[in-house]
Structure 1
Amino acid sequence: MIFFPGQNMMPDSGTITRIQRFSTGDGPGIRSTVFLKGCNLHCSWCHNPETISPEKGQRMFYAELCRGCGSCRSAGICPNGALEFVGSELSPAETAGILSEDAPFYANSGGGVTFSGGEPLLQAEYVRATAALLKEKGIHIAVDTAACTAYSAFERLNPVTDLYLVDLKGIEETACREKTGADLKLVLENIRKLTDAGKTVELRLPVIPGYSDTAEYMERAAALISALRVESVTLLPFHRLGAPKYRALGLEYEYQTVPGVERSLLERLSRAFQWQTVKF
């Protein structure tokens, strides 16, 4: 079940694209994932391109669903789902209220709430305020981040965050910066600071065809990660589910014809991690 918030302009609010309820892939147990809008990277394989721009009410037009009925002109909506405006504002209290509705599911499954994006640390104060309200109810908090921001943002979130899911975008400085815009040195420094502070960190490695889908890459990744005190490693397989979003936004998609990654490849690549717990 996915909740799409309406426009609600309030001070001290955050900009999000949606809240996905009953999620099982963004941390332990049954969770609600809040997708925040705005990202400081430009990963060419991104499957949520609508979260990159911080723009509120960003227009997405799915031409293949348009019947030319004109409802969008007369009523401002499309009965066929061809027109969508993403990026709405919610206050921390409003967000926490929505997320708290599923507290029994979190408690019974060992789940909770995950803040994702986009890059949630770009809206650190909104995340902190919302998470603080949820922590008052004993709800587990995870933050899914690329960790490519000043550590001061983490310092705001550390007191209310139980788990960091860090997406490691690359293992070589130049290639990582060219492909994603990420500063690998900064990312690794932030991971070390988080573990030094006693925070639980799980690393997530995207498996991207032609970039990070070889045994050699994973062996180098395993060597790099062995020096980090992380809880586990998750391999994230590339898929093309985000392709329609690129068309709806009028953007080119580099991976339009690239097939998704098969589980058999993930199984082979996971063998590089002899000393880490690997998930996929």
Structure 2
Amino acid sequence: MRITRKEFMASAAAFAVSPMLAEDGRKLKTPLMLDTKRMAIWDGPGIRTTFFVKGCPLKCIWCHNPESIKSEAQWARFQHLCKHHEKCTMDESTCPTRALKLYGKPMTIDDIVAKALEDKPFYDESGGGVTLSGGEPLFFWEWAAGLFKAFKAAGLHTCLDTSLYAPPAAIDAMLPVTDMWLPDYKADDDSLHVKYTGVSNKIVRRNLERLVAAKAKMEVRCLVVPGCTDGEEVSARHAYLKSIGIPEASIVDLKYYDYARSKYLALGMKDTMPPNR
């Protein structure tokens, strides 16, 4: 579904004045949604629907979804598609070449659950379900816990794709409603982790160990970025993960691709381009 700038501003304003509230009445940090991927087969077991939130506290130099870093909505202009029409309205719905794209649109929890249930027969047949990704879902952990409670009430299997850069309360809130965790372990050397993501890995390690102690089901993803997290970093990550009780079969090395370069340019992020493949 396409949305005009006017429609977006109206819906975003309505979303802002009708925030989700915690049980104690506090206003929750609530994300804009970035995308919905149906029939996903790489984001957990079976056939799944993956929902992407917008907003992340990390600044990974290789980020495959740079549009997910900032929490606020962003317009992107893909110059290779733009025909520079003299009457350009900066309106996604009327751009004939689809050179304009709006990243970040409001969705309520009820809307998300309804969208997920559209493919429930496929989940039931394949052992699939729903996955929350981003961005960083735990950046909005109270909201995410509420969403997962709604998913579980609807009989859906839940997966969480996360960097695990979050406070202990976030892990405690998500454990009862998360069937499978898909954490990233970006770098074992803390100095490299800081260099390439902007934050220390100490919080990530603490949360990994918390998940192991809780006997949470997980598959840890280790992205292998040439010149950044390859070589000895690969074996170091495996060694640490196995040392805390994660079996080798639950550790997956992922190959890096630089397919996101056009998105960096479209968003005007020329000074933060990802490494070449």
In which range does the TM-score fall when normalised by the shorter chain? 0.7 to 0.9
Which of residues 19, 35, 58 in structure 2 aligns to 1:11? 19
* Larger strand share, 1 or 2: 1
Residue number in structure 2 paired with 1:220: 236
Q: Residues of 2 paired with 1:60 and 1:198: CA distance?
A: 42
Residue number in structure 2 paired with 1:55: 72
Shift of 1:186: 1.2
Residue number in structure 1 paired with 2:196: 179
CA contact (8 A) 1:125 1:156 kept: yes
CA contact (8 A) 1:60 1:248 kept: yes
Q: For this pair of structures, how many residues does the alignment match?
A: 254
What letter is aligned with 1:96? Answer: V
Q: Residues of 1 paired with 2:124 and 2:47: CA distance?
A: 9
Cα offsets for 1:23-80 (capped at 9, x unmatched): 1111111111111000000100001000000012x11010111112345328663121
Q: Tell me if 1:209 matches 2:217.
A: no
Residue number in structure 2 paired with 1:229: 245
CA contact (8 A) 2:91 2:100 kept: no
Which of residues 109, 113, 118 in structure 1 aligns to 2:126? 109
Q: Residues of 2 paired with 1:169 and 1:115: CA distance?
A: 19
Which of residues 135, 149, 164 in structure 2 aligns to 1:147? 164
Helix, strand or coil: the match of 2:76? strand
Helix, strand or coil: the match of 2:246? coil
CA contact (8 A) 1:36 1:119 kept: yes
Q: What do you get for the CA RMSD once the two structures are aligned?
A: 1.9
Q: Tell me if 1:246 matches 2:264.
A: yes
Shift of 1:206: 0.5
Identity %: 33
Residue number in structure 2 paired with 1:46: 63
Helix, strand or coil: the match of 2:218? strand
Residue number in structure 1 paired with 2:23: none
CA contact (8 A) 2:148 2:178 kept: yes
Shift of 1:255: 3.5
What letter is aligned with 1:61? Answer: R
Helix, strand or coil: the match of 2:149? helix
Residues 1:28 and 1:4: Cα distance change in structure 2 (over 3 Å): farther
TM-score (norm 1): 0.85
Helix, strand or coil: the match of 1:97? helix
Residues 1:92 and 1:222: Cα distance change in structure 2 (over 3 Å): same
Q: Residues of 2 paired with 1:225 and 1:135: CA distance?
A: 29
Shift of 1:125: 2.3
Shift of 1:197: 1.9
Moved more, 11-20 or 154-163: 11-20
CA contact (8 A) 2:187 2:233 kept: no
CA contact (8 A) 2:63 2:274 kept: no
Moved more, 41-50 or 154-163: 154-163
Q: Residues of 2 paired with 1:87 and 1:37: CA distance?
A: 6
Cα offsets for 1:149-201 (capped at 9, x unmatched): 11111212111101111100100111111111232111111111122122112
CA contact (8 A) 1:71 1:78 kept: no
TM-score (norm 2): 0.86
Residue number in structure 1 paired with 2:109: 92
Shift of 1:217: 2.3
What letter is aligned with 1:202? Answer: E
The runs of at least 4 aligned residues of structure 1 exceeding 6 Å deviation read 3-6
Shift of 1:254: 3.6
Q: Residues of 1 paired with 2:87 and 2:76: CA distance?
A: 16
